[in-house]
Structure 1
Amino acid sequence: MSTGAHGNRPTRNQQREAARAKAKELREQQVKTEKRRRLFLQGGIGLGIIAIATIFIVTLATSGPKEGPRPANMASDGIVLSGSGMGAILSDAGAPGSDPIATTPTPGSSTVNIVVYQDYLCPACKAFDEANAQQLQTLVEAGAATLELHPIGMLASRSAGTQYSLRATAAAACVAEYSPNTFWAVNQAFYTNQPQEGTPGWNDDEIKALIAQQKPQNQTKIDKCIADQTFIPWAKQATDYALNGPMADAAKQSGANGVGTPTILVNGKVYTGSIVDPKEFLAFITQVAGDSASTTPATPAAG
Structure 2
Amino acid sequence: MSTGSHGNRPTRNQQREAARAKAKELREQQHKNDKRRKLFIQGGVAVAVIAIAALFISTIATSAPKEGPRPANMASDGIVLSGANMAAVLSEAGSPGADPVANLPMPGSSTVAIEVYQDYLCPACQAFDAANAEQLQTLVEAGAATLELHPIGMLANQSAGTKYSIRSTAAAACVANYSPDTFWKVNQAFYANQPQEGTPGLNDDEITALIDAQKPQNQSKIAKCIKDKTFVPWATQATDYALTGPMAQAAKDSGAAGVGTPTILVNGKVYTGSIVDPKEFLAFVTQVAGESASTTPATPAAG
TM-score normalised by structure 2 residue count: 0.83
Map of 2:105 onto structure 1: 105
Cα deviations across residues 249-283 of structure 1 (Å, max 9, x unaligned)?
12212222221000000000110000000110000
Contact 2:70 2:93 in 1 (8 A): yes
Q: Distance in 1 between matches of 2:242 and 2:207?
A: 24
Contact 1:68 1:233 in 2 (8 A): yes
Note the 1:246-257 alignment, pairs <5 A: 246-257=246-257
Cα offset for 1:106? 1.4
3-state DSSP class of the match of 1:80?
A: strand
Map of 1:89 onto structure 2: 89
Cα offset for 1:61? 2.4
Map of 2:186 onto structure 1: 186
Map of 1:298 onto structure 2: 298
Q: Distance in 2 between matches of 1:80 and 1:227?
A: 25
Q: Distance in 2 between matches of 1:35 and 1:82?
A: 32
Map of 2:48 onto structure 1: 33
3-state DSSP class of the match of 2:149?
A: strand
* CA shift in 2, pair 1:57/1:133, >3 Å: closer
3-state DSSP class of the match of 1:201?
A: coil
Cα offset for 1:30? 4.3
Cα offset for 1:57? 6.4
Aligned residue identity for 1:31:
A
Map of 2:261 onto structure 1: 261
Map of 1:227 onto structure 2: 227
Q: CA RMSD in A?
A: 1.7
Map of 1:141 onto structure 2: 141
Q: Distance in 2 between matches of 1:30 and 1:186?
A: 28
Q: Which moved more, 1:133-142 or 1:62-71?
A: 62-71
Note the 1:51-90 alignment, pairs <5 A: 58-90=58-90
Q: Distance in 2 between matches of 1:111 and 1:96?
A: 32
Cα deviations across residues 55-96 of structure 1 (Å, max 9, x unaligned)?
x96553233421100000000000000000000000000011
1:157 maps to 2:172: no
Count of aligned positions: 261
Contact 2:64 2:236 in 1 (8 A): no
Map of 1:213 onto structure 2: 213
Q: Distance in 2 between matches of 1:109 and 1:281?
A: 19
* CA shift in 2, pair 1:58/1:294, >3 Å: closer
Aligned residue identity for 2:207:
I
Q: Distance in 1 between matches of 2:61 and 2:91?
A: 27
Cα offset for 1:138? 0.2
Map of 1:239 onto structure 2: 239
Runs of 4+ deviating beyond 6 Å: none
* CA shift in 2, pair 1:36/1:71, >3 Å: closer
3-state DSSP class of the match of 1:170?
A: helix
Aligned residue identity for 1:79:
I
Map of 1:123 onto structure 2: 123
TM-score normalised by structure 1 residue count: 0.83
Cα offset for 1:37? 5.3
Map of 2:284 onto structure 1: 284
Q: Distance in 2 between matches of 1:186 and 1:61?
A: 29
Q: Distance in 2 between matches of 1:187 and 1:160?
A: 23
* CA shift in 2, pair 1:29/1:204, >3 Å: farther
Q: Which moved more, 1:60-69 or 1:141-150?
A: 60-69
* CA shift in 2, pair 1:75/1:278, >3 Å: same
Cα deviations across residues 92-120 of structure 1 (Å, max 9, x unaligned)?
00011111000011111110000000000
Contact 1:250 1:263 in 2 (8 A): no
Map of 1:202 onto structure 2: 202
Q: Distance in 2 between matches of 1:268 and 1:220?
A: 37
Name the % identity: 78
Map of 1:9 onto structure 2: none
Q: Distance in 1 between matches of 2:231 and 2:295?
A: 40
